[in-house]
Amino acid sequence: MNPERNHQHLKAIDFFCGGGGMTCGLRQAGIEVIAGVDIDEEAKETYEFNNPGSVFIKTDIRNLRSNYFERKHNVQRNDDSLILVGCSPCQFYSIINTDKTESLKTKDLLRNFARFVEYYRPGYILVENVPGILTNKRSIWPSFKRQLENMGYGNMLYKIIDMSFYGVPQSRRRFSLIATRLDTHIQLPVPDDKQALLCEFIGTEHGFARIPAGTKDKTDFNHTVAGLSEKCLNRMIQTPHDGGSRLSWANNPELQLACFVGKDGSFKDSYGRMWWNRPAPTITTKFFSISNGRFGHPEEDRAISLREGATLQTFPKDYVFKCRSIAATARLIGNAVPCEYARRLGEVILNH
């Protein structure tokens, strides 16, 4: 941490922290993260192992008393140096075609986050979510915004950003908000002049050995990749390197899937390869599967590995994921706020 900033001693509580992407980035900026709150028990070991000193509180925010942090962690109310972070689950507002029935129960979690804002009146608030939180007709956003304004946080800035212009090599469009009750100008991080590209982060020159599908890396580096059936492996072999798509084998009856027959214009990214000289697509919780998007390696016949996905989310390469399965690890990675963007948010507040 810059010695000149020590006197500020900014501290944060990371609600809906998951495996710790936001926490990691804020800590990289020099901010103390007191605790992370999440209902996912499997995230606890990963979070605390990589963020020593930051306590993982496994609970449903709806069941957490407003004064919990005051009693347990001596968090003071009306503290100008306190940051509350609320990156709530966003499946309900996502454009991904999923069943919204289960996610309906989580769409109003920001209202519970607002309860802690009202109680502690922190100096700063950070929120990150999918763009749909602004456009969905059933969104809690208008109500949440009014709550913040009524609590004195009219000094806010929010917009939809493309994280590829903030050091994150993905075409990842997100809603980002920063708000303060302090009477000074506030801003979001300034975008870079150029996008971050895939080739700047993965590949053999960045420490990623060439591996076949099905490789299980038992080290903490976790360069593990899902296996492929013989037919799916043949599909990858027939897909041109550096941005090839499933259209290359659309007329091959042995490889074409029945669900794609006559639908060349639909689900165009499924079974596709990434481009070296473009940002990756949005890293989702299913990035380990070539059938769930353009998650094929640009030139190797496989999906990207768990460590490659984590690197595209800008987790440090020594960040250890303490999960029992590929799917569980990918879920923590895909749901995370990219560490680099979180670091830049922290820098904005430190410089403020």
Neighbours of 337 (CB within 10 A): 30
Handedness of CA 100, 105, 106, 108 (dihedral sign): positive
Catalytically annotated residue among 17, 24, 87, 90: 90
Active site residue 199: no
Q: What are the backbone dihedrals phi and psi of residue 268, each rounded to the nearest 5 degrees, phi first? A: -65, -25
Residues carrying an active site annotation: 90
